[in-house]
Amino acid sequence: MTEGHSNIVGFCCNYAGRVSEEVLREAGLMPDGVRIERLPCTGRLEVTTLLDALEAGADAVFVAGCEEGTCHNLSGSHRAHKKVGVAKGILAELDMDPGLVEMFFVPRAETGPLVSAAREMASRVAGGKKGQRSER
């Protein structure tokens, strides 16, 4: 992974943002280095999945779940939100930036919010890297 090129994993509800990431990337919407993993429901997500993604080299991880009240499984994205909270706590305990894990609630039919979420994370990673450089 080269500097300036971020490696971000997004765990995304199968129902959120229906257009595939390839199409989005081809359309110049999805930042480079963002990989979207589709899940049947974000409620299925475990804290370890988030941590392991970071351990495996991701610069940041985000979860895009359904907006409140629209989850297919009623409270899946709510549970995901709590798991993200736990992961954030662990990052803080490890002196890492808790902002490297984030939860986004995205409408089920639109692609824009998913893209914004990916961009937000890309800019956080970029900001973090810049910060590290200036620290040195």
| Residue ranges binding other proteins (CB under 8 A) | 19, 23, 26-29, 40, 46-48, 51-52, 54-55, 72, 86, 90, 93-96, 112, 115-116
Q: Residues for the chain: how many in total?
A: 136
Rounded distance between C-alpha atoms, residue 87 and residue 93, angstroms:
10
Report, in Å, the least distance between residue 57 CB and other proteins: 9
* Smallest separation, CB 29 to other proteins (Å): 6
**Residue with smaller CB distance to other proteins, 1 or 94:** 94
Q: In this complex, which beta carbon is closest to other proteins, that of residue 18 or of residue 130?
A: 18
To other proteins, the closest distance from the beta carbon of 19 in angstroms equals 6
Q: Which is nearer to other proteins, 5 or 108 (CB)?
A: 108
